[in-house]
Structure 1
């Protein structure tokens, strides 16, 4: 059986020791590095190229596991990344999965699930474009995280016939990078095949290669909440 190598990124020495004890009981698994902060985590992954990274959401010196995750995916790291948190899981789970996480686990309640995921190595399939309500929830979470971490966020919007909207949404979904959100739904009051909205939220001002957006909103100039940003982008449609 091929050995599975792991880097553990956790700022609490007590919790790190507890997780290590569980990992050492797993046959065929070897921990090749430990890190409490962003800089060491990135350096260790680059040096050891592990099969999996277990990544705490909150790191030492105010570091962010989400930022480490995004940086790893930008650098082309293709191994498993499982995010650990003591914070309310549902508030951050979707954002981490959108940024490229293979799993998101509560350290206190879901450690067994994490060990099963490591053993199985399952990777979720790309999501289909979201509906309006899911897009708004995810957009609001992304906006909050961008404010916390000092990141950028742009919302782009299109309104077009359903066939064209479907093709655009699929193209955006296929080209999506870590943290991108793609949604598609029928505009309020739309009749027939017209009035389908495609919305795309990205960490910067990257535009669609297919067609320029008909409406754009940017954080913080045009709003701080997901709903405010979407409403502003739709004004230009």
Structure 2
């Protein structure tokens, strides 16, 4: 009896990447690409319509919601598809946000085709699939746990790395300067620093910046 193939939905904002993935996956036994999405919003709509077993999700999706937010919305559904992240980004911030959003696995686009095929099949059964560098970073994080930064704190840290002052950050994020100062104090505490320069230096060292 022929096993039922894994129904897969691709989500990447680059049409060429989607075409390449579809062509690559056509050679994989037991995997059927049932649809393609070019944005997080389109992935949510198609997933509701096509009911895939696995969504292969990029993190950076241009305008609209990003891959992490799309993952969070997809995994909150009943029934929920498994979400397997496939991205070029391996920063602590991206990995942590994706896992916390409910991603079953996290792969880098440098993976060999056979590793991707195996990860998709594993994800369909609920097993975790991680690229070796991602697994190493997660283990390092577990050995040296630090309080996680919130999404807003990540946003402020990102603006900080661009050399923006409190007033400029407040304008960019549509919040008050007082709120920026409050978040900065929390960021300093979590990173174990006392200055803006120190926060940026530690963020770069730990690859918290996108």
TM-score class normalised by the smaller sequence? 0.5 to 0.7
- Note the residue ranges of structure 1 that are not aligned, 5 or more in a row: 149-218, 232-237
1:30 equivalent in structure 2: 32
> What does 1:74-223 correspond to in 2, within 5 Å?
74-109=76-111, 111-121=113-123, 122-124=126-128, 133-136=144-147, 139-140=148-149, 142-145=151-154, 222-223=182-183
2:134 equivalent in structure 1: none
Structure 1 range deviating more: 26-35 or 103-112:
103-112
Query: 1:57·1:84 contact (CA, 8 Å) conserved in 2?
Result: yes
Distance verdict in 2 for CA 1:96–1:18, change over 3 Å: same
The Cα of 1:229 is off from its aligned counterpart by 6.2
Q: 1:66 aligns with which of 58, 68, 78?
A: 68
Query: 2:149·2:190 contact (CA, 8 Å) conserved in 1?
Result: no
The Cα of 1:10 is off from its aligned counterpart by 0.6
Spell out, residue by residue over 1:180-224, the C-alpha distance to the aligned partner (whole angstroms, 9 max, x if none).
xxxxxxxxxxxxxxxxxxxxxxxxxxxxxxxxxxxxxxx757314
Distance verdict in 2 for CA 1:59–1:225, change over 3 Å: farther
Spell out, residue by residue over 1:111-158, the C-alpha distance to the aligned partner (whole angstroms, 9 max, x if none).
54332111233434xx9xx9794233xx1375555659xxxxxxxxxx
Between the aligned partners of 1:145 and 1:50, the Cα distance in structure 2 is 31
Q: 1:18 aligns with which of 6, 17, 20?
A: 20
How well do the aligned residues superpose, as a CA RMSD in angstroms? 3.4
Residue 127 of structure 2: SS of its match in structure 1? coil
Between the aligned partners of 1:224 and 1:50, the Cα distance in structure 2 is 41
Between the aligned partners of 2:58 and 2:80, the Cα distance in structure 1 is 18
2:50 equivalent in structure 1: 48
Give aligned pairs, total.
Answer: 158
- Structure with greater strand percent: 1
- Structure with greater helix percent: 2
- Note the residue ranges of structure 2 that are not aligned, 5 or more in a row: 129-137, 158-178, 192-210
The Cα of 1:5 is off from its aligned counterpart by 0.4
Between the aligned partners of 2:27 and 2:72, the Cα distance in structure 1 is 30
